[in-house]
Amino acid sequence: MPDSADQAPDHAHSDAATASRATKARRLAGYAWSRDIRGAELLDLPASTLRKLARAADTNPPSTGETWQVVADLLDQKDAWAARNPDHAAAVRTHADEKLLWVKPPFKPWAAES
């Protein structure tokens, strides 16, 4: 069994990395929430769209899906909080009209008339 001196340090899960990931996740969640993007919708977005979303939020795109999962969890928590506090100013989605820039509605093909 190797001793701890033989193992490389796990910088991705250090206290500093965890704190940085949490800060980034809160920033991304705030941006997404104000645009009415739900947690499940966020996780369904392609990687290219997630990178664009992060850049639009003035944030370097996360390098792992772990951060995006944290963002989705934060969105779900904020949705639950907003449902309990609908009259609070922080429960208002200030840019909900921008949702279509990120989450496209399902495509419905033209129905053939018979």
pTM: 0.79
In a domain, 95, yes or no: yes
Full domain range(s) for residue 87: 18-102
CB within 8 Å of 111: residues ≥ 6 apart: none
Q: Which of 14-23, 54-63, 74-83 has the lowest mean pLDDT?
A: 14-23
Number of folded domains that form the chain: 1
State yes or no: pLDDT of 54 exceeds 90. Answer: yes
Which pLDDT value is given to residue 104?
84
Buried b (16+ CB within 10 A) or exposed e, 82-100: eeeeeeeeeeeeeeeebbe
In a domain, 109, yes or no: no
In a domain, 45, yes or no: yes
Tens digit of each residue's pLDDT (9 = 90 or more) over 65-111 = 999 999 999 999 999 999 999 999 999 999 999 999 999 877 777 76
